[in-house]
Amino acid sequence: MAENDYAHNEVLVSTQWVADNLANTDDIRLVESNEDLLLYGTGHIPNAVHIDWVADLNDSIRRDYLNESQFAALLARNGIRNDTTVVFYGDKNNWWATYAFWVFKLFGHQDCRVMNGGRQKWIAEGRTLTKEKPSFPPADYKPFARADYKIRALRDQVLTHINAGHPLVDVRSPQEFSGELLHMPGSPQEGALRGGHIRGAESVPWNRAVNEDGTFKSADELRAIYEGEKGLLPDQDIIAYCRIGERSSHTWFVLTYLLGYPNVRNYDGSWTEWGNLVGVPIENPSRQA
């Protein structure tokens, strides 16, 4: 387990913990979730199932997530019960692992954890990968109502939030924050008509929270960034956002579970929604005289 004095040490497991528990497929389910949807097929941790953030977690028509019955069916076919410990990991320093973690928490799944360091650390340590897809008996899963209001922010809630002067954390790159870039490099389909950031947002790129090996920085280092540099306080109502909600789910995880902030929401509409809205407050330093 993690030993960095996090608020919730139990949500992080080490690569060694995963290696020691590979055979416990009755109580533990490893879930790989990546930006690169083909990566799982090139090799994954033994007994890990693949949850596709596009096909499995999102509605195929509306820009929204699957509903309660679809979520229950997804977990059931992957052999996940309500009491299963689900351990997420993936590429991009666990961007999509924390995104899947966040979606699972929308539906109230109790025991969710993240493998610290993700695929990067597992592979760097020379640990076993396999191309064999595991198969588990279907499980019974009782769905809970999706609790969007607890950890998810929608656009009208964001507008109310900024009008009240509450803090927002923009976790994109400095170039996206300033308006120099309309989208993340390599993802033009996720751009917007306007560049910049939501009025009043603080820039804290998501990657400041991780070490070179993909593991999370210590609690003291994280507090120095979010509290020492940006002046955030644990009891504040905070919204994090990026472009589509994946990088901000990473920061949501850091603030909520590693630092223990109780009132953090992820705005998954993020800049692809806000930058295309008519009449909302935007700051664009790259266009200011």
* Active site residues per annotation: 242
What gap in Å lies between CA 154 and CA 161, rounded to an integer?
10
**Among 165, 170, 171, CA closest to 237:** 165
E strands, the chain, where?
12-13, 28-32, 48-50, 85-89, 112-115, 168-170, 197-198, 202-203, 238-241, 264-267, 282-283
What gap in Å lies between CA 250 and CA 227, rounded to an integer?
17
What gap in Å lies between CA 66 and CA 245, rounded to an integer?
15
Any idea what DSSP says for residue 215?
P
Alpha-helix runs per DSSP H in 26-94:
68-77
What gap in Å lies between CA 247 and CA 172, rounded to an integer?
7
The four Cα atoms 112, 118, 121, 123 give a dihedral, to 10 degrees, of 110
Please identify which residue in the block is written with the tokens 């992080």.
12
**Among 122, 131, 102, 104, CA closest to 39:** 131
Task: At 90, list the tokens.
Answer: 């993936």
Element (H, E) at 124: helix 118-124
Q: Would you say 45 and 122 are in contact if contact means Cβ atoms under 8 Å apart?
A: yes
Task: At 57, list the tokens.
Answer: 């977690």
